[in-house]
């Protein structure tokens, strides 16, 4: 199968998840010891989903739900924000916020998500892979971090993404973006799930990534 030029773009349409775990070296391999991330206290967690698919068909929302089940089983409080269906607006770069809030938009990001993020211990970003990056729905949220960049420093974070393709470079660009974001935001990464070969609900449900997402939550 060709993977260069147009071949690269068609691979994710023809991939079938047979190699779901092959070369997936970037998902968290060793789970932190139970309680070591939270120090044993209940954490406030914000999970951001960003798939336009219905909740019961989406692969990335499935991972988010498995993570949430795990985190709740360990006594953590989880708030979920559905970036694909809430009222959101992309940053206009007006700089009225001076990177220190408030934002000119009084939408669900400013009124609902941001207050939750500011008080959260842990932020979980979840996305389907779209042209080797995050979905536009999630990018809108990330760009709006601008209005509170300094106030969001010091959070813990987790990244989870699903993709149809299963080549070893499938998640490379997004993983690099996430690393850079964590560095810039002065966050501490505490888990990553790069679910390659998971282009359909049935594939992610039976994949090891689903268990990994649950265990990362349960072990916090
Ligand atoms: C606009 C669009 C772009 C996509 N780009 C990629 C891609 O670059 N690589 C890939 O492996 N899969 C790609 N896919 C497939 C999705 O990542 C995959 O189906 C994923 O499981 C969808 O997750 P969801 O059900 O949570 O939305 C793309 C799908 C769409 C609709």
Other CB atoms within 10 A of residue 148 CB: 19
Reported confidence tier of residue 6, pLDDT bands at 50, 70, 90:
very low
Cα separations in angstroms, 19 against 15, 113, 152, 160, 196: 9, 36, 37, 18, 8
Residue among 80, 85, 128 to mutate when testing ligand 1 (max atoms within 8 A of CB): 128
CA angle 216/44/74 to nearest 5° reads 45
Residue among 15, 16, 126, 129 to mutate when testing ligand 1 (max atoms within 8 A of CB): 129
> What spacing in Å lies between the alpha carbon of 128 and ligand 1's midpoint?
5
Domains plus CATH for the chain? 50-218 (3.40.50.360)
CB-based contact 64:209 (threshold 8 Å): no
- The pLDDT tens digits for 97-122 are 999 999 999 999 999 999 999 999 99
The residue to which tokens 């536009």 are assigned:
136
Please state whether the predicted TM-score (pTM) of the whole model is above 0.75.
Answer: yes
Reported confidence tier of residue 29, pLDDT bands at 50, 70, 90:
low
Residue 26: per-residue pLDDT:
64
| CA-proximal residue: ligand 1, atom 22 (nearest) | 128
| CA-proximal residue: ligand 1, atom 31 (nearest) | 130
The better pLDDT of the pair 199, 2 is held by 199
CA angle 182/186/191 to nearest 5° reads 45
> What spacing in Å lies between the alpha carbon of 60 and ligand 1's midpoint?
10
| CA-proximal residue: ligand 1, atom 30 (nearest) | 130
Residue 168: per-residue pLDDT:
96
CB-based contact 220:122 (threshold 8 Å): yes
**If you average pLDDT over residues 151-159, what whole number do you get?**
98
């Amino acid at each position: 199968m060709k993977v260069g030029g147009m071949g690269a773009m068609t691979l994710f349409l023809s991939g079938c998840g047979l190699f779901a775990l092959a070369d997936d070296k970037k998902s968290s391999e060793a789970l932190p010891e139970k309680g070591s991330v939270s120090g044993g206290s209940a954490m406030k967690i914000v999970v951001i989903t960003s798939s336009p698919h219905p909740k019961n068909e989406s692969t990335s929302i499935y991972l988010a739900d498995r993570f949430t089940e795990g985190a709740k089983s360990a006594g953590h409080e989880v708030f979920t924000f559905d970036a694909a269906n809430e009222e959101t607006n992309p940053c206009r770069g007006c700089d009225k916020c001076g990177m220190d809030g408030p934002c000119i938009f009084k939408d669900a990001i400013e009124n609902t998500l941001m207050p939750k993020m500011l008080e959260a211990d842990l932020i979980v970003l979840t996305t389907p892979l779209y042209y080797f990056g995050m979905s536009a729905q999630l990018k809108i949220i990330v760009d709006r971090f601008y209005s509170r960049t300094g106030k969001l420093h010091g959070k813990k974070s987790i990244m989870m993404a699903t993709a149809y393709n299963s080549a070893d470079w499938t998640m490379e660009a997004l993983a690099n973006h996430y690393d850079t974001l964590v560095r810039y935001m002065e966050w501490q990464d505490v888990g990553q799930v790069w679910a390659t070969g998971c282009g359909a609900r049935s594939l992610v449900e039976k994949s090891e990534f689903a268990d990994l997402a649950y265990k990362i939550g349960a072990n916090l």
